[in-house]
Chain A
Amino acid sequence: MTQPPIPEAGARLERVIEVQRGAGVNRRQVLAAMAASMALANTACSPPPRLQAHPYVNLPEGGAGGQPMYYASAFVRDGFAHGVLVGSQEGRPIKIEGNPAHPSSLGATDIYAQASVLQLWDPDRSSVVRQRLAREGDARVAPQIASSTWSAFEAAWLECADALADPHGSATLRILTGPMTSPTERALLQTLLARGPRARWHVHAPLSDAAAADGAWMAFGRHVAQVAHFDRAQCVLALAADPFSDGPGAVRHAMDWSSARTAVRDGIAGARAPVLFAAEATPGLFGARADHRVALSPARIEGLLWRVAAHWMPELTPADVGLADPAAAAFESRLLAALREAGSSALVIGGAGLSAEAHALVLALNQRLGAIGRTLTLIEPPDAAPGAGTLADLVDALKAGTVDTLLVLGANPAYDAPAVFDMPHALQRAKLLVHAGLHVDETARLADWHLPLSHAYEQWGDARAHDGTATLLQPAITPLYDTRSAAELLALLAADPLRDGHALVQRQWRTGREADFEAFWRKSLRAGVVADSAAPPLEVQTARLPARLALPAESPSATLTALFVPDAATHGGAFANNGWLQELPRPFTKITWDNAALVSPATASRLGMSTGDVVRLQAGMRTLDVPVFVQAQQADDLLTLPLGGGRRHAGRVGDRVGFDASVLRPASAMTLAVTLQKTGRRHEFAVTQHEIDQHARELLRTVSVGTALAPEPKRDQLYPPFASPVHAWAMAIDLDACIGCNACTIACQAENNIPVVGKSQVAKGRAMHWIRVDRHDLEEIDNSGFQPVPCMHCEQAPCELVCPVGATVHDSEGLNVQVYNRCVGTRFCSNNCPYKVRRFNFLQYSDETTETLKAQRNPDVTVRERGVMEKCTYCVQRVARARQHAEREGRPLVDGDVVTACQSACPTRAIHFGDLNDTGSDVVHARTSPRHYAMLAELDTKPRTTYLARIKPDA
């Protein structure tokens, strides 16, 4: 800690928030909140520690000088590092960019990294140490929560620490953490465990599929992590897996796949791209991009796997090959051919819902194909926790009453543990429960002590990427509240002489590098990665084959198979209090502010259900009422239950949004047989896209490889065109690259201060996203197509013509600019926009009272008031910034100087932006492609945003 933060301010705000959750707020509390907010506002502007943080070497689009400073750091999700550049202005982190040097990013980001900046500024973040004065179970006194201090906690800790250290004592310590890859934290944890003879570590990873780990164990007798290389693959088979959205390597997978397709996209003769096969239970991004896709229940997918594997493994008993599936037959034969052809360039990936045996078989198959070492690297899991127990072990110990002190670090089992564990009561069995986290969440409310943790962008630390590469975390801002990093907390618990995160991390990395440490340190901080720290490939022996596949019997028609998946936006509830993510339309359903049980149309009609029906699911004793959403591309007789809804103590945004599927979730498996009955009740979803069929309007076009789209007929012009003499900005979006991950939407929201409007407003049709991602059912390829739609910046803009006050006009560089302070809000421009990309502030949407949210805003972008129209500006502020930078350097703007927010976030580089006057520019090249077309070209609006058609898979 370099600067003393302001605990009392945080404390006061905290208390006020408590009150606001309750009845009303009186004048005093409002004043208190204001005072606290002012205090926060002050801390919010303190720059990162001087002389310690090191700005990123190659600043994107010009960098410094009244311009954003970028700090290479990492956003840590589920323990894994996602390399980012934290862009901060006036000392405030406001925008996240990907770190090109980071293996999990290569410059791109996913929605979570983009939204992480809002998590940093979340007004509901825990800001003070809280101590509970009485137990909930204690009937005599009502539980009282009181703000406390770190020193108070340290004092309290010392007592039990001595007891734990006593070799003859009986006091026991259990530590429950999420997945942990940080070398520093792991080292400190080990010292802490070493101090107490009766201390034990448990890991709780709510979203990770135990079967996968067990499968690896089955096959190789050890735990392994799989690192896939899509760029080396000729044929990828995903079984119930979505490698484009699941796991820490998702962005990298998409990036590698996309770059492997470039040659094909450019129409180079004989070029080959990896052929994707998807057998998925529920629609995923990978399946939507797959060349060949089939929807099957997990059980049938295992059958398919078994039959396919048998071709390479004659020793597999062909006896119970599972149920042959007519629907899958064609897919299967094509798959076999492709796998045979690809050989060692094939890649098979298993996902959630498969049994351990299936996962073992997947690894074995990869090995037989020769993929291991080529398209698939096996490494020591960066989050391996040797000797650590599972959550189940901990619960047993708790129930047995053998846990004196339980320390929950960065986990929230009280919410996300399967209900079978009855966590809330189990936790109460610990004599002393200490919780450390970002929020005062469900677990924190049960704890005797709650300790506020620093956000990744506030702390010194380290973490590993999906391939094991280490990243040093450096703060882009001093902690907003009186918080500490996990490392600092562990140091305190382990009575480490060092307490400062900076020192701790340095100590961790100095060992072995004493000589050139300073150079190493600076270099690593600036690059955002520790050079050559990727995990070495493991040598594994021949995989043992599972005796037989655990094929569940065909489920009777009364019951359905429930499949538990992380919600596509709240990620199992961890991001439930993040407004951007709650309001993000889920890629396939376009649902916001909700989760829904997905069923296939066939199943729905069989059970007489329609979208919006509330049904009661029953599994054993437990029941759960969920709203049904009928979703094509879904496997029959399968019910997809997204995890992450129904938070009880997430915060003002995330409380009571959707249902909590973990109520039904079994202890370890990801599937469960449930019976279903209708309740007759209805539920209203807030959906942003009601029509999936594009009514043959060729908005999203497809072409076969090597063929060109019919050129648009030349249209006579009544008037001479206006010239854009200096620059003519344009955007081309490659629909063949887009995977519909929504990263652009969130990136735009963060960059342009786009407000969150809430469920009721979205339901009314008032979502504010400047770049939306439409999904269309493409009959020609029998799959989903995604189409990002920003403003088209039409050269003959219909919106401009009808504005009575000239609030939307063209500038000299061809941008269709919106003049907010001239807009009177007639909304005629939106009515007249064929692409419906304009967004209107029907009410006062942008929060102008919450200080921390104000601190997140981009100072270069106007915050719009009620009653004005807004829309995509091609990030005009970035254009201006780049121009100024070039002018300072006395050079002209060159291609790549201007990078829009959506473009820089895109994991598949689908978005090309640049200057039409620069004949060599990327966008000009894109517009010369035979796949190039303008949407609704017959309207002759001459859009500057155009598209490249998606390439059909060759049948």
Chain B
Amino acid sequence: MVARDPRWALMAEYDSAEALVAAAQAARDAGYRQAEAYAPYAIDGLAEALGARRSRIPAFTLVGGIVGGLVGYFLQWYAAVVSYPEEIGARPLHSWPMFVPVTFEMTILLAAFTAFFAALLGNGLPRLAHPVFDAPDFDLATRNRFFLCLLTDDPAFDEPEAVALLDSTAPIRRDEVAR
């Protein structure tokens, strides 16, 4: 097979969210599946435009919460009934009403951890080094500029077409992003 393209992607810079969304839509229509878009804030519909699937984080979080609750309750039951039973103020060893608060807190805690880490891992973070960081102007991606990248590894990538496509979206600038 041919040697890998030394470039990571072609990148176009826009000055408005609308332009970026339009460009992303265009790229997807052109068959690009690995295009990436960068924006200084969350833009409604951008991810969808790029064809992102529905996030599974909520499901994970639910599972995390359920596990947390079970663990929390089991911990108390085991400690109070099995491991070291003691007579406390003539209360039954298994005084479930008083086990509720800790169970609740454990539910929330594990659910929160799941949501947080699911988001990070899903985003592949932390990842301190990335080709786009070397791209010119990219520091503005966290300020007021919007970028679209067509990855060279994308099966649908074909340079002349890509260039044409990007230029057709009227970017304020187009660059190549080295690997």
Which residues of A line the B interface, CB within 8 A? 719-722, 795-801, 806, 809-811, 942
B89→A796 contact, CB < 8 A: yes
| Residue numbers in B under 8 Å from A795 (CB-CB) | 90
Q: Assess whether A722 is in contact with B87, with CB atoms less than 8 Å apart.
A: yes
Add 8 more A-B contacts to A795-B90, A797-B90 (CB < 8 A): A720-B92, A721-B90, A798-B89, A799-B89, A800-B89, A806-B84, A810-B89, A942-B90
B86 at the interface (CB under 8 A from A): yes
Main secondary structure of the interface of B (DSSP, over half): loop
- Any chain A CB within 8 A of the CB of B91? yes
Residue in A closest to B93 when the chains form the complex, CB atoms? A722
**Residues on the A chain within 8 Å of B91, using CB:** 719, 801
By Cβ-Cβ distance, the 10 closest A-B pairs, closest first, are: A801-B89, A810-B87, A800-B89, A796-B90, A800-B88, A809-B86, A797-B89, A722-B87, A722-B90, A719-B92
Cβ contacts A to B, 20 pairs, < 8 Å: A719-B90, A719-B91, A719-B92, A720-B92, A721-B90, A722-B90, A795-B90, A796-B90, A797-B90, A799-B89, A800-B87, A800-B88, A800-B89, A801-B88, A806-B84, A806-B88, A809-B86, A810-B87, A810-B88, A811-B87
Task: Report the contact-size class of chain B (Cβ under 8 Å from the partner).
Answer: under 10
- In the bound assembly, the distance between CA atoms of A722 and B86 in angstroms comes to 11
Chain B positions 3 through 19: 1 when the CB is less than 8 Å from some CB of chain A, otherwise 0: 00000000000000000
Closest A residue to B79 by beta carbon equals: A806
Most-contacted residue by chain A among B84, B86, B88, B90 (CB, 10 A): B90
Task: Write the chain A residue with the least CB distance to B84.
Answer: A806
Assembly CA distance A196 to B91 (angstroms)? 80
| B91-111 with Cβ < 8 A to chain A | 91-92
A721–B90 CA distance with the chains assembled, in angstroms: 6
Residues of chain A within 8 A of B90, CB atoms compared: 719, 721-722, 795-797, 810, 942
Taking CB atoms, residues of chain A closer than 8 Å to B89 are 796-801, 810
Residues of B near A806 (CB, < 8 A) are 84, 86, 88
Taking CB as reference atom, which chain B residue is nearest A803?
B88
Complexed CA–CA distance, A596 and B64 (Å): 69
Docked complex Cα distance between A797 and B90 (Å) = 7
Q: Which of B84, B88, B91 has the most CB of A within 10 A?
A: B88
Q: Digit string of B54-93 for contact with A (CB within 8 Å is 1, else 0)? A: 0000000000000000000000000000001011111110
The CA-CA distance from A806 to B89 in the complex, in Å, is 11
Which of chain B's residues have a CB closer than 8 A to the CB of A811? Answer: 87
Q: CB-CB < 8 A to B87: which residues of A? A: 722, 800, 809-811
A720 CA to B91 CA in the complex, in Å?
Answer: 8
B76 to chain A, nearest CB (A): 13
Contact A809 B88 (CB under 8 A): yes
- Provide the bound-state CA to CA distance between A796 and B92, in Å: 11
Flag B132-143 by CB within 8 Å of A: 1 or 0 each. 000000000000
A377 to B120 Cα, complex, angstroms: 98
CA A721 to CA B92, docked complex, whole Å: 9
Q: Which residue of B lies closest to A808 (CB)?
A: B88
Give the shortest distance, in Å, between A921 (CB) and chain B (any CB): 23
Chain B residue with the shortest CB-CB distance to A801: B89
Residues of B within 8 A of A810 (CB): 86-90
Q: In the complex, A501 Cα to B91 Cα: how many Å?
A: 62
CA distance A801 to B86 in the complex (A): 11
Nearest chain B residue, comparing its CB with the CB of A832: B89
Q: Which residues on the B side are within 8 Å of A801 (C-beta)?
A: 88-89, 91
Whole-angstrom distance between the alpha carbons of A811 and B87 in the complex? 7
Among B86, B87, B91, residue most surrounded by chain A Cβ atoms (within 10 Å): B87
B94 to chain A, nearest CB (A): 11
In the complex, which residues 109-152 of chain B have their Cβ closer than 8 Å to any Cβ of chain A?
Answer: none
The chain A residue with its CB closest to the CB of B80 is A806
A722 to B90, CA, bound (A): 6
A798 to B90, CA, bound (A): 10
| Chain A residues closer than 8 Å to B86, beta-carbon distance | 806, 809-810
A618 to B49, CA, bound (A): 104
| B84 surroundings in chain A (CB, below 8 A) | 806
Question: For A722, what are the chain B residues with a Cβ–Cβ distance below 8 Å?
Answer: 87, 90
CB distance from A798 to the nearest CB of B (A): 7
Cα A720 to Cα B87 in complex, Å, equals 12
Which residue on B lies nearest to A799, using beta carbons? Answer: B89
Distance, CA A253 to CA B100, complexed state (A): 60
Nearest-CB residue, chain B, relative to A814: B87
Whose C-beta in chain B lies nearest to the C-beta of A811? B87
With both chains docked as a complex, state the minimum distance between the C-beta of A487 and any C-beta of chain B, in angstroms: 57
By a CB distance below 8 angstroms, the chain B residues around A942 are 90
